[in-house]
Every structure is written in C-alpha cells, then in structure tokens.
Amino acid sequence: MKVAALGHATLDHVFGVEAVSLPPAKLRARTYARRVGGMGAVAALAARAAGAEVAFIGRVGDDPSGEAVRERLDSAGIDTTRLRAFPMAQTPVAAVLVDARGERLTAGYRGSALPGDPGWVEVPACDAVCTDPRWPPGAALILREARARGIPSVLDAELTEGDILEHLVPLASHPVFSETGLAAWRAGPQEAALRIAVASGAKVAAVTLGERGVLAWDGTSFLRLPAYRVEVRDTTGAGDTYHGALATALAEGRALPDALRFAAAASAILVSRSGPDRELASSAEIAALMERDDTVPLPA
C-alpha cells in the first residue's frame, strides 16, 4: 500500500531533563538527540515504519537543517522528490524538553520565507493520504485530490489559529482531533462536535484521548476504543504517529475498528521508547501488541 503525506517538517533538538521549570532557570540535560519532527514528517516516518510505501510532500529551507530533514527521510526509504527546498528560506526547528515522566515542553520556530502557494505540488498515485493543518493551502489541495480519487484522507486536526479547521475538516474523510483541537473547533460535548464534523462532510471523525483511548463517530454510531497499556517514556510525536499509522491501516483496507487499534498500537509503542535512537513501531511490533490486547480499562 502507498501513502502520500503532506505537511510540516522540522529539525528537532530533543533534551531529556529531570523536570521542566517554567520560571527562568538553567536546566541540565541528561540526554540529547537531533530528530526529524513536524506533524507531517513524523506521520510519514510512522507510516513507513508501519509498512507503507511513502511519499512526503513538504517545504524546507535550502539550509543545513533542511538537508538534515531530507537525509533522515531518505534513510527511512521515503520518497522525498516532492520535498522542496526554497532558497533564502529557513527550515522550521524546535527545542523539545522531555521530563522524567515522558511529558514534553516544545518551543517551535516555524521557519521563514516558505511560500504558501502549493501550485507546484503533484500528488503521486497512492491508496491514502495524510496531512496536518500547518500549511493550509497544501493540506486543502491534497484533501481535495484524495476525495476526487475516492481514497481515504487523514487530517491531523490539531489546535490551530483562526478558522483553518473550518475549511479543512469538511474536506477530509477521516479528521482526527486532539482534545484541544476538538474543543477549539467546537465547544461543548465531544460527541456533538464529532457529529458536526461528519455532517460537514467527513466520513468518520475521531478524537484521541491519551490513556483514555479514542472516541469516533461514523455517522451511525459511536465507537470507543481503549489505549494500550505501556510505560510512558516520551510522548513526543505520539499524535503524529497515530495519524500516519491510521493512514497506513486505511490504505491497507482495514475496517474502522481495526484501523483505529492499529494506530493506537503504533502510538503506544512509540511513547514507550526514549533516547537518541528511538525507533518508530514496525508492522510486526504493532501486530504483536494488538495480539496481546493489553489495554487500559475505559472510564465508566
């Protein structure tokens, strides 16, 4: 199966610290790693690790950080012919502090001089697409293309500025919200908000709830699935991994409950790992965790 991923790519500098202090302070880092981050790029890496052939569409600067992003994606076997490096632009970068509990604090710089016009974008032949909202014109283009082709499209419906989600959610077949993203998009009960997403044009709408699992609405009924039980060590990239793995599962033709479990397992495996060489979940590892079916009980 083939997945086309479009969106945000960053070069992350990840520091492992004992605790994050919000007042001005000097923190001593226990570990350091340089990783590719960004919602779209991590989703692409997750989809590739989960077994898909992946093409990544994105924007970076013609600078060392952009070249490092390309090298990492290339090394994973991802097609980067549509990752465009723009002269005089700066690649997005981030500093990520991960504490001893696996929680994180991120300071991100979204780059500069990255053109918004997606007229140069060509979506390759694929079985599913995924995108994030950080490059709205590009996201709208790939979502419309997926709908025209009749293939699944996963939107990372994260918290955004303005009314970006108002335009993107109706274009996606599978918008998957974070809790903050869903609350910002529609205030009130989550069930009502998911109903509105489907009524606006989505096929399935879901919200990820961390250790409380996922809630999805398919236009007919709600589906509540638990999270897998793991020891959390680093939550960086958990949501991005979920979206990339979900796109892979949908490209493979899995039914909705199985696709959501597949995505949850991939995300759980990722957050159970830490360190400079943290690897994303392979298809075999995902299958093994799904087989064990060790989940956190759903809230009453």
Reported as a single tens digit per residue, the pLDDT across 107-163 is 999 999 999 999 999 999 999 999 999 999 999 999 999 999 999 999 999 988 889
Question: pLDDT tens digits for 218-266?
Answer: 999 999 999 999 999 888 899 999 999 999 999 999 999 999 999 999 9
pLDDT confidence tier of residue 24, bands split at 50, 70 and 90: confident
The answer to whether the predicted template modeling score (pTM) of the entire model surpasses 0.85 is yes
The pLDDT of residue 276: 66
Amino acid residing at 108: G
CA angle, 183 then 92 then 113, to 5°: 105
Tokens for 283?
């298809």
**What is the full DSSP assignment across 114-135?**
-----TT--PPS-SEEEE-TTS
At residue 4, φ and ψ (nearest 5 deg) are -105, 125
Domains for the chain: give ranges and CATH numbers.
2-20+28-292 (3.40.1190.20)
Rounded to an integer, what is the distance from CA 28 to the centroid of its chain? Answer: 29
What distance in Å separates the CA atoms of residue 169 and residue 38, rounded to the nearest whole number? Answer: 20
- Which is nearest to 31 in space by CA: 234, 260, 248? 234
Phi-psi region of 5 (alpha: psi -120 to 50; beta: other; left: phi over 0): beta
- Which is nearest to 43 in space by CA: 90, 3, 1? 3
